[in-house]
Structure formats: structure tokens, C-alpha cells
Structure 1
Amino acid sequence: MAEHGPAINVLDYETGHHFSNLIMARDSHPFELHYGMFLPTLRGQGTDEQQEKWIPLALIRAIVGTYAQTELGHGTNLRKLEVTSTYDPKTQEFVLHSPTVTATKWWPGGLGKTSNYAIVVAQLWTLGKCYGPHPFLVQLRDLETHQPLPGIKLGDIGPKLGFNANDNGFLIFDHLRIPRDQMLMRHAQVLPNGEYVKPAHSKLGYGTMVYVRSMMIGDQGLQLGIAATIAIRYSAIRRQGEMVEGQGEVKVLDYQTQQYRIFPQMAKAYAYIFASTKVRDMYTKNMKLMKSGNVSLLPELHALSSGLKAVVTWEVAQGIEQCRLACGGHGFSQASGFPELYAQTVAGCTYEGENIVLLLQVSKFLVKAARQVRSGEAALLAEVAEYLGVVGANRSTFSQSQNFSDKIVIEAFEHVARRLVFSALDKLDHLRGEGVGPEEAWNRTSVELCKA
């Protein structure tokens, strides 16, 4: 599903500054994908020449773009996307085609009515061989009449649970031809004769997804902060019940149960916003490294952004619901702000990667790191996984009267996480030892892997 959020900050990874910022209503905005994914993808995957040609037009909105990846039949499983882009060396063009109903591009924001261009992710075919999903810059509508071009069918997918100010759309290709230079070729190329030049690293094309997930973490934290603010302010005004007979009703916020319900949500909001800053800094550093061919930070960044996206979106959805419940019946009213807020944030659990799928992607990173520890290569661990290599699995002894320092709390979390990772690995290896195939062994361990 295409990315959504109330505020879109477009990051210039060369300077670390945001060169555009859209603040919009909670119900989203038709330009969201233009700034949130179209422009970042041009910057991250276009050649210098492509950037010089297209980015100025996009910045002044002479062209309005979206990002068309998800299909009716496939979302997270990018390798099985069905739209094809077949290179014709005779004309030096790519032919885009949607061979089935399930190949229909489905969900891109701004596609239904607004966009006249799209970055389309399609299976690249050249000289009779498929090289997997690659990005292509495709004009969708006539720049004068705004009507769909020949070979293109598109429209709005209709009402959703939320985001109804954003025209999420569908897109079907019927042997549409585009010039060769509209394949984004910073990392992979197709030469005029059809020869494929592979990227230095197979994951270099993941930059846009990582960027959006890093932005989501902070946006979701902001939404939880809004919900907590509503609930706290309500609780400071609303009076209900007497603690002492005859002394008048007290503020709802005076009840300890109310404090336990809503104060942690405010704390989480700050934690998620701070975490997003860390991830965005890593993203900026990674993009600079990738320009010189260094992809060493990419696996860690991918794991961290995927894991945080999954955990934060789930926790925020649950946290907003707690804030709503803390406002009693008034929280059920549209006037409270909670219905739109919840609809917006709960969507984050499924767009830009369904949460369970993302947790299992993080599990692959953790399993690999755990195997490094067991093979005596703990020194090679990424920074985010260094806790797995701590000798002796330092366990702090706790008592009810002990004052917990930050250090002790972190050690406790690391200890629990370490045990979960290695117990999942033990089960995985046990199943493999019994002759279970790798895919089935992974499936049978998937609950433990998600917990890890």
C-alpha cells in the first residue's frame, strides 16, 4: 500500500536537510506520494542526468508523480510482481504490460485523479531473461488534457477506512512503450543493445522503502503524542466520582488507573520520535556511503527500520485506542479526534510492508547475527546486534526494592532479547537436524522468530 502520513518531509541526503515540508489534515493529501516517494526515488535511484532533467520539474510540480509498486495480487512479496517491462533493442524502448487482473497496480496515493507521472516497479526483461523488479519513470496522463495516455487504464479505488482525501488508485498497462532512458539507472542499467549491467549490491534498490519506513516511525510517534495530549487534557478537565465522600468529584486524571493508562503513551511518543531521528541519521549516512559503492550499513539500516516500523505502528495503534477508552463515551465521538486519528495510524500496520512479514525479515538478520556469535565471529556484528555477542549473557539480579538505573533496565531487555533469539535459533536448527526442509523449518519457527 502506498505511503500515507500527515506531514511529509523530503530529505536531501547529501546535506541532511529537508527541502520540502507538507503539513496537511489528518485525512491525507493528494501530493503525499509526490513528495514522500516520487521525489526521494528520483534522488536515490536516478542517474545524475535523470535527476537534472526530472527533479526540477517535480519540485515546481510541472509534473506530479506517485510510486506504483503494490499490485492487486502482490504487495510485500516484490519478487512475484507481475507487471513486465520488456526491452526492445530495435527501438530502444521498454514495453510495459499488465498480463493478468492481479497485475493491476493497486493503492498508489495520488494515482486516482492527481498524478500525471509514476515511478512504476516492474519485472525487467531483456534479451529473453528476467532480472527482477526495477523502477521505471512512466508518463500516465496527457500534460494538457490530463486524460490517460493510450495503453493506460487508471482510476480511483474508492473509499477506505481513512485517508479519503488521498485518491488512491489502480493502474493497468496494455503494451505501453517508454524510452530506454526512463528506466532509473543509478544502480542497474540496460545498455542500448539490451545488455544488462547489474548493480554493485542487490539491495541498492531498497532505498525508497527504507526512507519511507524511517519517516513513518517519527510520524507515528507524533500521532500517538496527539492522542495522549487529547486524553490528558480531557482527564484534567473531566470530573467523575468522589474519592472522599462529601468532598466533591475529582479530576479523572487523579485516579492512578487513568495515569497508568495514558502517561506511558506520552512517554512512548517521545521515544519513537527520538528513535526516528536516529534512523534518519543512519539513512543519510547510508546514502552518502552508497554513492561511493559502500553498502556495509544497508543490512543494519534495513533491519532497524523494518523492525521499528512493525513495532511502532502496532504500539501506536494500541496506544491510541487506550487514549480513546480513557476518555469514556466522549472518545467515541468524531469530535474527539480519535476516529480519524486511529484510522490513519492503524493503516501503518499494513502499508510499506505488512508488520508480521517485516518482523520475519528482521528475524533473518538476527538469525544470521546469532550464527556469527556461535561461529566465533562476534566481532563482525553490526552495532544494533552487538548485545547478542555479550559473553555470559550478563544477568542483573533484581529485587522489588532496587532502584533501576537506565543501564540495568537496558541490560535486562538485552538479556530477554538474547534468550529469545538463541532459543528460536535452537528450534530452527533442531528441526533442520530432524530432516525438515529449510522453508518448512522457518515456517514452524515463525512464531518464535516474530517474538525474537
Structure 2
Amino acid sequence: MDLTIKRMHAIFDSGVINNELWLGQSRQREFAALCEIMGWLGAFDYALHSSIVDHMIATDALFNHASPRQLARYRDEALCMRRVYAFGCTEVGVGTDVRHVQTQVTYDRKRHCLILHSPSPQACKCWIGNALRAAQVVMVIARLTVDGEDQGHHWFRVVIRKRENGRLQDGVRVMACDPKGGIHANQVAAIRFDQMTIPVDALLQRHAHFTEDGVFVSDLPLNERFIDSLKTFLQERLLFMAGIRHSAGLAVHLGYRFARHRLIHTADGPTPLLSQPLFRQRLYAIQLKALALKYLEQAVRKRFEAHWAQVARRKELHILAALDKSVGAWMGLDALALSRELCGSQGFHHYNQIVTQRIDCEVANTFAGDSSVMAYQIIRDALTRQRFVDSPPNNIGQYVEAKIVSQCSEAAGYSHQQAVGIAYARALDLIIQEVESQRLLDGETLADLVEVFNSQLHPWLEACCHTLSRRATQVQIKRLAGLLKPPQALISAPIDKRDYIRKFTLPLYEEQ
């Protein structure tokens, strides 16, 4: 955990990533580079990746909701990580259902201050990255009460420690969420606020503030404050997708390298595992899934870059982010699990990177919103804004979406399977558009890529092609391996090298 924070300081000190590279900020032209670097960090160490995202989401909340005066005061400390920030959104009782957070902030008129309180165990902020020991500032979303009236959702900048790893302020209690299933190097904690006194300017004041006389003023109507508070829940989903996409790509690469080195015995003598058709069929399908993730991320990111400045299209971007996050998590975890199986017992070894990446990335289905809930948002949008009223579907992804929408309209509701199906169908549509517009793959390879979606879309397909077994040649697999190859600096697994068996067994041959 301490090493993670040290690495974060080194990264932010270098200026290679920070919130200025987010869309809407001064270096937004470098957003694609930010996603790529965050992807590399995810493949290197998903705990480091998630810890950095935790800090940057909190900084984004500051950027979105602080007044110009507050931003001038706190911008550099957050941007350069002179103070470690945590993102205090999730509560243990409601998860990421932000509308129903219970954390309360009450205005104390006599003392002209605010009282921050967790009114029940369900209201404790939970799974808060960086918070256990390092974070000095937590960006807290809570409901504000003034003179007995509920003023809705607001963000607060709450100092919980005066220095990194220092003593907690009065009114704050912190508990580790360990033992976690993965990302062990992220300081994930639960936080209880117990009648904590915070200054009135802890309230982020872009749209609301208290006058010196204690009058609460907001330029947003009450019914708009919750929607406004959600501004920060978009771009970080693309960063999570980048992390799991690169993690999956690394795992698939290691499966390919292992198959080149691993020798099996045949009638013709020792031969690489990659020579076996049945193995190649498995590997080829996983390569195609990793490639699909790459093109999905690319397609969504381009739309964010093109339309971010158009506020009227934020709803559309929200759905794209939900799509990117949910399908990215599902397909990425699938690719990681199957890559681990490809490598047999070596795939289960910690130092070969795959199983540790799989365990760490398990959290991807929870971080930044539950993947299934994301799919429900996607299908509700599809039913509300039907895309094929005036023009017919023109690829298989669009065809499946139209079919599911028709089924749901007749039934006046939708099932979980239909929600997941429409998420995959929209993802496939984006991938096909990206591949065809940029001429990224030949027609046969694109047809193979489409086929790996059959397991999710088969209820709505009239017939499924089965070309993977025929196309899984050594030449094709080598070609895809070149498209997926990660930077060598990310690879530390012994199975990447031809002499991995000698190194693995070396202690047995050393003189005692």
C-alpha cells in the first residue's frame, strides 16, 4: 500500500498524467494518451491503476463543483497530488445508488458551521480507495439540511487528516475493508462520520453557498441538484475500461507466448503447443475478444472526444460510458479467465501475472457502477429512444438491438438476459463501425470477431456461422498477436521467455 502511494507521487510529479488531460480541461487533446497510459498502468498493477483513478475522480468532483475561488485555492494540491484525495461516494447500505445516499450534512446556525454525520451503519462510506492511511481529503457526496429543510445532494471537500498517514481529525473513524479479494495494494476503507464539524466553505460552491448571515443560496432548483451532482460519473469509466482492456491483452499475449515455448510430445517428436489445432481454436477466440475490447474502447473514446463539449449529448455519452464499462468488464474478465486456463498450472502462478490480474480485475464489475445496472440503463435508453424507426438496421449488432427492442415493446418490460443482450449488441455495432470505417481488419477476420459474440446474442440470431476452427491458423494467430502485443516493459512473467522451465526449476539444481 505504501509503495502504491509512492508510485502515485512519482507519476503525478512527472506530470505525465493528471486531470488536465481530461476532456473539458486545458490538455484535453491528450485524452487518448491518458487512456493509453492508464491502460498500461492497469496491466502493470491494477491496484495502482485503481488508486490513481480514485484520486482523479475525486479531483474531477472538485473541478466540476467548486467555485472559481475554491478551484484557485485547491486546484494545484489535487492536480499535482500534493494531498492525496479519496472519493467518498459509495455507502455500504446502498452501494452506488447515489440518489439514496444517507450521509447527512446539517447547517449549524449558531456556530455558522456544518455537521457531517453518518446516521446509521448503512450510511458509512465504504470501499473508499486511498482512505485507510494516506488520504488527507475526501470528496463527500451527502444530503444537505438547512433549518430542517432538505436541500438535496451536494459535494463537500472534507479534510480527514492534516498530513499523509497522520492522525484522523475529530469526528472521523476509519476501518480497513481488508481482506479484499484483490487490489490488495489499494488502501480501501470504510469511513464513519460522527457529528464531525466542518467549515461552511467545505461545501463546493459552484451552484450553492452560505452568505455571511447564514442564508443558503443556490442557483439550481432543488429537482436539478441531484442530476448536477452526477457530472463526475462519466470519464472515469473509460479509464477503467482502458485498464481492463490492457490487462486482458497482456494475459492473451502471455497465453500466446506460452504456447510458442511449451513443448508437447507427438509421434513426430517434441513440438510447440501452438502447433495443435484444438489449442489454437481456444487461443484464437480469446485473441478476438481482446481485439474487440480494443476497438470498442477506441470507438467510445472517439465519440467522447467529438461530443464532450455538446452538453445536449451528455445523455448519449452516459449510455456509451455505461456500455463501455459493462461490456468491457464482462469480456475482459472472460479473456483473463480463459487465458489463465490456456497456460495450465503456469497460468495459476503468481509471477506469471495472469491469475493476479484476473483476481484484481474482478472488482471491475463493481467499480464505477454495477455492470448489470449499467446494462439496465442501456436497455431503458434503447426503449425510450428507438434508433431504427426511420432507418433499418445495417449490421448484425443493430439487427439484434432492433429485435430485442421489438420483443420488449410487445411485453411492456425487459429481462436481465435482454438487457445484457442489448449491451453486447450495441458494443458489437460500435466495433463493426470502427473496424469498417478505419479498415482495421479484413472481412474474414471481422466475421470471426463477430462470431465470438454469438454466446451472448444467439437467442436473437437465426443462424450462427462457425468459422473459428477453420481460421485459427498459426499465421492468423501470429498476426493477431502482433495487433495485441503490449509494451515489453509491462511483461515480467517467466513464461514470456523460452527458458522459463529452467528458471522455474533452478532451486532444485542449485548446490546446497
Please tell me the TM-score bracket, short chain as reference.
0.7 to 0.9
1:314 pairs with 330, 345, 351, which one? 330
1:449 pairs with 404, 419, 426, which one? 419
2:376 pairs with 360, 379, 402, which one? 360
Shift of the alpha carbon at 1:220? Answer: 1.3
Shift of the alpha carbon at 1:167? Answer: 1.0
Letter in 1 for 2:22: D
Q: Deviations over 1:116-150 (max 9, x none)?
A: 11101112223433243321100001238811111
Confirm whether residue 12 of structure 1 aligns to residue 22 of structure 2. Answer: yes
Confirm whether residue 54 of structure 1 aligns to residue 66 of structure 2. Answer: no
- Which structure carries more helix by proportion? 2
Shift of the alpha carbon at 1:89? Answer: 4.5
Normalization by structure 2: what TM-score? 0.70
1:351 pairs with 348, 367, 378, which one? 367
Q: Is the 8 A contact 2:65 2:205 kept in 1?
A: yes
Cα 1:142–1:367 change in 2 (3 A) is same
Shift of the alpha carbon at 1:241? Answer: 4.1
Deviates more, 1:153-162 or 1:194-203: 194-203
Shift of the alpha carbon at 1:156? Answer: 2.0
Q: Is the 8 A contact 2:255 2:283 kept in 1?
A: yes
Confirm whether residue 305 of structure 1 aligns to residue 305 of structure 2. Answer: no
Cα 1:93–1:223 change in 2 (3 A) is same
1:389 alignment counterpart = 389
Confirm whether residue 68 of structure 1 aligns to residue 88 of structure 2. Answer: yes
2:271 alignment counterpart = 250
Q: Is the 8 A contact 2:105 2:145 kept in 1?
A: yes
Q: How does 1:356-435 map to 2 (within 5 A)?
A: 356-370=372-386, 386=387, 388-391=388-391, 393=392, 411-428=395-412
Q: Deviations over 1:269-310 (max 9, x none)?
A: 343234334434444555534xxxxx3111111111112211
1:382 alignment counterpart = none
3-state SS of paired residue (1:28): helix
Letter in 2 for 1:160: K
Deviates more, 1:204-213 or 1:226-235: 204-213
1:93 pairs with 104, 108, 113, which one? 113
Separation in 2 of the partners of 1:451 and 1:268? 16
2:438 alignment counterpart = none
Shift of the alpha carbon at 1:73? Answer: 0.8
Separation in 1 of the partners of 2:278 and 2:164? 60
1:134 pairs with 136, 146, 154, which one? 154
Shift of the alpha carbon at 1:265? Answer: 2.9
Separation in 1 of the partners of 2:261 and 2:63? 49
Q: How does 1:230-309 map to 2 (within 5 A)?
A: 230-242=254-266, 245=267, 247-284=268-305, 287-289=308-310, 295-309=311-325
Cα 1:105–1:337 change in 2 (3 A) is same
Confirm whether residue 329 of structure 1 aligns to residue 345 of structure 2. Answer: yes
2:231 pairs with 191, 207, 215, which one? 207
2:45 alignment counterpart = 26
Confirm whether residue 184 of structure 1 aligns to residue 207 of structure 2. Answer: no
Deviates more, 1:220-229 or 1:147-156: 147-156
Confirm whether residue 223 of structure 1 aligns to residue 207 of structure 2. Answer: no
Cα 1:267–1:207 change in 2 (3 A) is farther
Separation in 2 of the partners of 1:144 and 1:324? 38
Letter in 1 for 2:216: G
1:197 pairs with 209, 216, 219, which one? 219
3-state SS of paired residue (1:249): strand
Normalization by structure 1: what TM-score? 0.79
Identity of aligned residues (%): 21
Q: Is the 8 A contact 1:218 1:276 kept in 2?
A: yes
Q: Deviations over 1:31-86 (max 9, x none)?
A: 52554312222222222222211111223433211101111111121122111112
Q: Is the 8 A contact 1:191 1:197 kept in 2?
A: no
Q: Is the 8 A contact 1:218 1:274 kept in 2?
A: no
Shift of the alpha carbon at 1:9? Answer: 6.0
Letter in 1 for 2:238: S
Shift of the alpha carbon at 1:101? Answer: 1.1
Q: Is the 8 A contact 2:261 2:272 kept in 1?
A: yes
Confirm whether residue 165 of structure 1 aligns to residue 175 of structure 2. Answer: no
Q: Is the 8 A contact 2:86 2:131 kept in 1?
A: yes
Letter in 2 for 1:318: D
Q: Deviations over 1:180-237 (max 9, x none)?
A: 2222233x31442123432668533323221111111222111110001100000111
Letter in 2 for 1:122: A
Separation in 2 of the partners of 1:329 and 1:46? 52
Separation in 2 of the partners of 1:141 and 1:170? 15
Letter in 1 for 2:270: E
Deviates more, 1:204-213 or 1:412-421: 204-213
Letter in 2 for 1:231: G
Kindly tell me the number of residue pairs found equivalent between the two proteins: 392
Structure 1 gap ranges (5+): 1-5, 290-294, 371-385, 395-409, 429-441
Separation in 2 of the partners of 1:257 and 1:412? 28
